[in-house]
Amino acid sequence: MSHADQTQTSLPAKSKPVSLRSPGTLIFERMVHRFLRDSNIEVGGENPWDITVTDRRFYRRFALKGSLGLGEAYMDGWWHCEQLDELFYRLLSGCGRCGKISRVPNMLSKVHAKIVNRQSRTRAYIVGERHYDVGNELYQLMLDPYMAYTCAYWEHSSTLDDAQKAKLDLVCRKIGLREGDTVLDVGCGWGSFARYAAEHYGAKVTGITISKEQLALARERCDGLPVDLHLCDYREFRGSFDHVVSLGMMEHVGVKNYRTYMEKIHDCLRPGGLALIQVIGSPASMCATDPWLDRYIFPNSMLPSVKQIGDAIDGVFHMEDWHSFGHDYDRTLMAWHQNFEEAWEQLRDRYDERFHRMWRYYLLLCAGIFRARRAQLWQLVLAKGGVAGGYKAVR
């Protein structure tokens, strides 16, 4: 089965047409119009963040299903917007009520997350199969040459390639990486950090991922380097290393497992070693994610808060440094979106137009989230036993 076929079969069937004269439809239309106007967004307006509705079933779907319905209606082509990123920025920063038009899907997600460990060992590989295994060619065309699929560091860079190399180098400098050091890379992706650390610092890197496609390409890209990569859940791994790095992995761990995750990193770290965790963070403690992102992009994902991270490391690690640069993720996502759109002609034979709209929606929704500061990006430096004489922050 092709990736396009897989995408089609995983998406819900389209809703049946609703009579345009239905009183209920008119009520939903008024609700949505009022809701959008609270964020200075008009239906049929002239601003690039205004929306154009092409199928009036959109109103019912959005009113009843909230953010999930909004995304599904866009995938089905029921509405359009010239600048989705600006639309989401206004929805999220203007009134912060994007999910409140319909609380039911959000509440169901929260209740389910409270009851079930959605990131258990048996469920850990789901996100790998449904997101990271969607096709290596897509990611090769969208990402930088090192294939880093986490926030770039734009402090002194003007291109995505340079900004991602700057981020990888920042990580190496923060942990004081030296030639011959051993590093465990938890959630190694396509081997971006492993390759960079081995090439530029002479490190020996062991990486683990839950994606078969990532593993195959990462091994190819790191061939000839002192890099050892495995298909493995973090709870199943054993070893001892000078340093542990985990970039963009904690978002898949879940609140029920944060403590286990930190304890596993602690167990794999030698006395005196440093661990660095890069993670997208939430400004408030939550136990579930946006319903649309959960269903179509990152199943079972969850963003930790400062409090949740603090509870997880309490009595386990010494916190040496906490660096926040979430504004850089907006720029990173916009760069990925530009690459994706420019590469679409090379990808259209493998993916259908609904996938195209889904992926565009994903990238620009996330850009709007970071632009509105509804999500953060943190790098944490953690020490096993604390750094003698104190840790000097690196930027």
Provide the annotated active-site residues: 366
Return the structure tokens found at 133.
């295994």
Grouping H, G, I as helix, E, B as strand and the rest as coil, residue 211 is: coil
DSSP for 341-368? HHHHHHHTTTS-HHHHHHHHHHHHHHHH
CA dihedral 151, 158, 207, 321 (to 10 degrees): -60
Q: State the Rg of the chain over Cα.
A: 22
Q: What residue type is 8 in one-letter code?
A: Q
Q: Is there a contact between 380 and 261 (Cβ–Cβ < 8 Å)?
A: no
Bridge partner list, 318: 383
Cite the beta strand spans of the chain per DSSP E: 51-53, 79-81, 182-186, 204-209, 227-231, 241-247, 269-281, 318-324, 376-383
Between CA 214 and CA 148 the distance in angstroms is 12
Nearest to 359 by CA among 134, 189, 147, 145: 134
Please report, as a single letter, which amino acid is at residue 282. S
How many CB atoms within 10 Å of residue 273? 24
